[in-house]
Chains A and B, each alone.
Chain A
Amino acid sequence: MESRVLDGNAAGGLLLELFGVELTAAPCVCSGCGAREEIARLDVYVDCPGVVIRCRHCHNVMLTIVRGPERTWVDLRGTRGLEL
């Protein structure tokens, strides 16, 4: 099955629950190409084990979130900065 590409709006609820703040309007800088875009303007893949957020310009993986029954793993290696 081809993974559907949505956008950061679709991850808004999950991010709100994890971080306690609205993040879709928060600018985020890609560590791959340096592009700065609001999270709403990033590509979000939801048909994977977890949620994968990629840069729309260079497709670098900026953020992954994997939820387990008792804990959640967040990988932010692909994000150089997040403005709140």
Chain B
Amino acid sequence: MRTLGLEVDGWDSHRAGQHLDVRLTAEDGYQAQRSYSIASAPADPLEITVERLDDGEVSPYLVDDVGDGDAFEVRGPIGGYFVWDGDEPEPVLLVAGGSGVVPLMAMARHRARVGATAPMRLLYSSRTWDDVIYRDELESLGIEVVHTLTRGQPPGWTGYTRRIDDDLLREVAFPASDGPRVYVCGSTRFVDAAADGLVRLGYYPRSIRTERFGATG
């Protein structure tokens, strides 16, 4: 996992939740392109957080090799659906699976940066405590954070230890009657399970914005 600061010519700003595409071109002309969520708040310098996938074509370069001053092609910002601008009063429920937390982190940072008052709660599923991205910063953003650690827990862990299911959602999510906005990001399986569970809790399907993260390296 690595967070990279980018300087992009002509980049104006972005909205919290958007992503960008990185395209690498080899000397022989071969191109590989991947999408990465923007991790920073719109008012802060542009950053992406990249998870290294061993068999990936782009992420090993971005995590292991790229250094200060290196250049590559960037397209974006992209997305007008999976975004939160911070001026809506409804409570916001963020549901993250693994590195799906990255665009949600941009929303949490944006909320802190602009002093938005909408209550925000993050339900974050990770394999182990060591896999939790932004672990310390999450505690300082003024949002509620609920972790579930599905593969291993540190000694003395008293939090959730299972994959997200209907009971867990019922305990953590705002009541549907509060009219919350929801953003869910993770693998396709994770996103569909969380979104279906929230609908069973009475959430209006159109209030649930989802982004399926493709592990495309």
A residues sitting closer than 8 Å to B (CB atoms) are 4-10, 12-13, 16-17, 22-25, 38-41, 46
Is there contact, CB below 8 Å, between B214 and A40? no
Select the residue from A4, A9, A39 with max chain B CB neighbours within 10 A. Answer: A9
**B80, CB-defined interface residue at 8 Å:** yes
Measured in the bound complex, the distance between the Cα atoms of B175 and A29 in whole Å is 31
Measured in the bound complex, the distance between the Cα atoms of B81 and A40 in whole Å is 7
Interface of B is mostly: strand
Contacts of B21 on A, CB cut-off 8 Å? 13
* Known pairs A22-B78, A38-B81; A10 contacts B209 (CB<8 A): no
- Report the number of A-B residue pairs with Cβ-Cβ less than 8 Å: 60
Measured in the bound complex, the distance between the Cα atoms of B212 and A41 in whole Å is 10
Contact of B212 among A7, A17, A25, A38 (CB under 8 A): A7
**B179, CB-defined interface residue at 8 Å:** no
The count of chain B contact residues (Cβ–Cβ below 8 Å) is 18
Residue in A closest to B103 when the chains form the complex, CB atoms: A9
* Known pairs A5-B188, A46-B214; A10 contacts B35 (CB<8 A): yes
Is there contact, CB below 8 Å, between B75 and A13? yes
Is there contact, CB below 8 Å, between A4 and B79? no
Is there contact, CB below 8 Å, between B216 and A16? no
**B152, CB-defined interface residue at 8 Å:** no
Contacts of B75 on A, CB cut-off 8 Å? 13, 16-17
* Known pairs A4-B188, A12-B19, A46-B216; A22 contacts B210 (CB<8 A): no
New contact pairs (4) apart from A9-B78, A16-B76, CB-CB < 8 Å: A13-B20, A13-B21, A16-B75, A17-B75
Could you tell me the distance in whole angstroms from the C-beta of B32 to the nearest C-beta in chain A? 13
Contacts of A24 on B, CB cut-off 8 Å? 78-82
Measured in the bound complex, the distance between the Cα atoms of B159 and A38 in whole Å is 36
